């Protein structure tokens, strides 16, 4: 057993007060979960501490929360590991930190924590930092760690028409599909709707209207389904929306937050790829930017930045002959930035200012040969599905060793 201090961001709407921090001291095995710690505090210290939970085994998806700022499930995070993380981050920033204000601009945590710790008469583990627990981000808080999943998460899920839209009349019996054709979407099907990815989403932080990682992963689940007949319409809709697939800032937060390996960002990139394959032009320059980038590297080998800007907004001959309103606005808007760059000298050269002057690599033909090979094969290697070579065999060996060396009696616990 070990002692931990958990610092919980609390909010009791009926009190009329704003959110505040409260520390609880709990005593449990390091291998138990942060959720176990919270439930102990609820049992022993304050029954009003509100947290959603049910299965305690990362299946139901109820206990989404932020632990030391990282979104995930309370039941899938070991409290010992959370303690190590809290200590590490404090050691990194604490020793010389100029300011260490809490990221949420509420009551100073140190003050309230001090009072509560004194009142409860408990002492924190010496030298250990409190484990900080907050409700999920990007959604309203109802009470303590309970967030309103309806107004953000479920509303966004419904936005992507999360059901099958098949061809014509339904068959007399079940739909029959080749098992291989469904493998691609098994990763997005693993979602348990916990909202951890939504909580972690950095695009949504800047644009609350963003459809977001959970809903877009769900969208891919139907886009990739061979029974669905509205693939093109779905993709068109998501590419057209300024808060759709091209609003994802590619920050990988949702990949690390997801407890089930869904990797929502990877699904969003698949949606973009499919939209490109379907030839869908969008008003956000998403597709044009992608194609411009790919073509520049084929031609030059390294990036011609000014050409990328030009071709993203006004692609090809047509784009220049009849530029869109948005292209004109964006190009005019970038002039002040370019002037500043010329003034400081960062862009003071012809090949940086004039699109297309950028030199190509000495052996650009080698790069072109790579393009020819890859365009022909187009192989997609999904680690989630294929796994690492030899990984299974090694796991089996390890499990075998564990089994043979485990003392009698422990086996039954597992």
Partner 1 sequence: MSGEQIKVAYWPGCVSRGFTPELHGSMGLVAEKLGWELVELDRANCCGAGVIAEHNQELADTLNARTFALAQQTGLSMMNICSTCQGAQSECQQRLDADSAYRAHINEALSGQGLSYEKGEEGGWTNKNFLWLLVEDYGLDRLREQVVRPLSGLRVGPFYGCYIVRPKERLGYNHHPDRDIYLEKVIEALGGQVVEYDGARKCCGFPVITMARETSLRQAGTHVGDAIDAGADCLVTPCPLCHLNLDMQQPEAAKVVNRDLGLAVLHLPQLVGLALGAEPAELGMGKHIASTRWVEERLTAGAAA
Restricted to residues 93-132, the positions that interact with partner 1 (CB under 8 A) are: 93, 95-101, 103
Of the ranges 60-68, 148-156, 167-175, 387-395, which one interacts with partner 1 (CB under 8 A)? 387-395
393 binds partner 1 (CB under 8 A): no
Instruction: Give the shortest CB-344-to-partner 1 separation in angstroms.
Output: 5
305 binds partner 1 (CB under 8 A): yes
Let me know: does 147 contact 141? Beta carbons within 8 Å.
Answer: yes
Residue list 29-88, contact with partner 1 (CB under 8 A) = 88
Element (H, E) at 93: helix 79-94
Closest to partner 1 by CB, 157 or 201 = 201
d(CA 24, CA 49): 11
d(CA 39, CA 31): 15
Residue list 342-371, contact with partner 1 (CB under 8 A) = 344-347, 352, 361-363, 366-367, 369-371
Alpha helices for 101-228 (secondary structure H): 109-120, 155-159, 179-183, 186-189, 196-200, 202-206, 213-223
Distances from the Cα of 358 to the Cαs of 36, 304, 317, in angstroms? 59, 6, 19
Instruction: Give the shortest CB-269-to-partner 1 separation in angstroms.
Output: 5
Closest to partner 1 by CB, 175 or 384 = 384
Closest to partner 1 by CB, 53 or 280 = 280
Instruction: Give the shortest CB-396-to-partner 1 separation in angstroms.
Output: 18
Residue list 318-347, contact with partner 1 (CB under 8 A) = 330, 333, 336-337, 340-341, 344-347
386 binds partner 1 (CB under 8 A): yes
Closest to partner 1 by CB, 325 or 414 = 325
Structure tokens of 130?
A: 């409190």
Count of C-beta atoms within a 10 Å radius of residue 206: 10
174 binds partner 1 (CB under 8 A): no
Instruction: Give the shortest CB-40-to-partner 1 separation in angstroms.
Output: 27
- Choice from 354, 383, 401, 406 touching partner 1 (CB under 8 A): 383
Q: What is the pattern of x (binds partner 1, CB under 8 A) and - over residues 226-255?
A: ----------------x---xxxxxxxx-x
d(CA 342, CA 198): 40
Let me know: does 66 contact 133? Beta carbons within 8 Å.
Answer: yes
Strands 131-134 and 2-10, by their bridges, are parallel
Instruction: Give the shortest CB-303-to-partner 1 separation in angstroms.
Output: 4
Among residues 194, 248, 240, which one has the least CA distance to residue 216? 248
3-state secondary structure of 372: helix
389 binds partner 1 (CB under 8 A): yes
Residue with tokens 């309203």: 140
Closest to partner 1 by CB, 53 or 286 = 286
Let me know: does 9 contact 133? Beta carbons within 8 Å.
Answer: yes
Of the ranges 2-10, 107-115, 224-232, 378-386, which one interacts with partner 1 (CB under 8 A)? 378-386
d(CA 385, CA 330): 41
Residue list 259-278, contact with partner 1 (CB under 8 A) = 263, 269, 272-273, 276
Question: In DSSP terms, which residues pair with 9 in a beta bridge?
Answer: 21
């Amino acid at each position: 057993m070990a002692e931990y201090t958990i610092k919980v961001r609390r909010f009791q709407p009926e009190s009329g007060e704003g959110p505040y921090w409260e520390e609880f001291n709990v005593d449990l095995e390091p291998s138990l979960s942060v959720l176990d710690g919270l439930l102990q505090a609820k049992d022993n210290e304050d029954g009003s501490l509100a947290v959603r939970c049910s299965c305690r085994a990362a299946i139901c998806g109820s206990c989404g929360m932020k632990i030391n700022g990282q979104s995930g499930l309370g039941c899938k995070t070991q409290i010992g590991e959370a303690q190590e993380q809290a200590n590490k981050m404090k050691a990194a920033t604490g020793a010389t930190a100029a300011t260490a204000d809490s990221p949420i601009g509420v009551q100073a945590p140190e003050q309230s924590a001090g009072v509560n710790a004194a009142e409860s008469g408990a002492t924190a583990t010496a030298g250990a930092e409190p484990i900080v627990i907050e409700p999920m981000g990007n959604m309203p808080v109802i009470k303590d760690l309970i967030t309103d999943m309806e107004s953000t998460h479920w509303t966004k899920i419904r936005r992507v028409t999360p059901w099958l839209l098949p061809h014509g009349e339904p068959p007399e019996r079940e739909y029959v599909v080749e098992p291989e054709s469904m493998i691609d979407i098994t990763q997005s099907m693993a979602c348990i709707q916990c909202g951890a990815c939504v909580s972690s989403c950095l695009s949504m932080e800047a644009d609350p209207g963003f459809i977001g990682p959970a809903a877009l992963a769900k969208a891919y689940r139907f886009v990739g389904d061979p029974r669905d007949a509205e693939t093109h319409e779905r993709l068109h809709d998501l590419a057209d929306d300024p808060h759709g697939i091209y609003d994802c800032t590619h920050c990988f937060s949702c990949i690390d937050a997801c407890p089930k390996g869904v990797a929502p960002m990877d699904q969003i990139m698949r949606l973009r790829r499919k939209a490109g394959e379907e030839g869908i032009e969008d008003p956000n320059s998403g597709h044009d930017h992608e194609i411009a980038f790919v073509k520049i590297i084929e031609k030059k080998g390294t990036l011609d930045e000014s050409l990328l800007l030009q071709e993203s907004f006004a692609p090809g001959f047509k784009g220049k002959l009849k530029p869109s309103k948005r292209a004109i606005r964006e190009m005019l808007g970038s002039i002040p930035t370019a002037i500043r760059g010329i003034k400081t000298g960062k862009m003071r050269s012809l090949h940086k200012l004039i699109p297309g002057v950028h030199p190509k690599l000495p052996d650009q033909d080698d790069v072109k040969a790579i393009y020819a090979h890859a365009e022909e094969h187009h192989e997609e290697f999904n680690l989630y599905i294929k796994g690492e070579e030899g990984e299974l065999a090694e796991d089996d060996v390890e499990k075998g060793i564990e089994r043979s060396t485990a003392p009698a009696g422990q086996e039954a616990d597992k």
